[in-house]
Structure 1
C-alpha cells in the first residue's frame, strides 16, 4: 500500500507542477485552489508512504516521478522542447525510480 501511496503522491506532484504553469498563465483563484490541492495531496500521500518506506527512498522516488512527469507534461501540454537529450535524461530518471523500487 505504501508504494501505491507514493505513486499517487507523485501524480499529485505532477498535477501541482502543471498548476504552477496554469497559475502563471491565468492568474485566477481556481488555479490557486487547484495548485494547493495538488501539492496538498502530494504531501499527504508522501506522508502516508513514509510511514512504511525509508525517507530517502520515498523522497527520491517522489521527486523522480514529479520531475520527470512534470517535464513530460510540459512537452505534451505546453510545447516545451522534445529533443533526444531531454528524453534520454528523463529516461534515466524513470529508470532510477524503477531501480529504487526493485531494490527496496
Structure 2
C-alpha cells in the first residue's frame, strides 16, 4: 500500500479552529473520498507535540493500492477541484503544506 500525507505546517488563525475543521469535513472530505482508487482518507488534528517540535495542526493521510493508482488519483479532475477548494482552507491558515509518499510496511 502507498500512503500519501499532506503536512499542514503552521498555525490555524486564532478563533478559526472550528471553521477550519468544518471546512475540511463539509467541503474537502467529500472531494478527497471521491479520488479514484482511494482506499482510505484520514484527517489527523494535533492536540499535543514535543517541546520545540514544528507545528502541524493537521495531517491528511490517504491510502492507495499502488504508485500507479496514486498517480491516476493525482491526475484526476476531482484532485484539481480539491486543490482549488483548498484555497478556502488556506484563508484560515498561516503556513505551508508539504507532501510525503510512503510505502506501508507489512508486518
Q: Same fold (TM over 0.5)?
A: no
**Is the strand fraction higher in 1 or 2?**
2
The answer to which structure has the higher helix fraction is 1
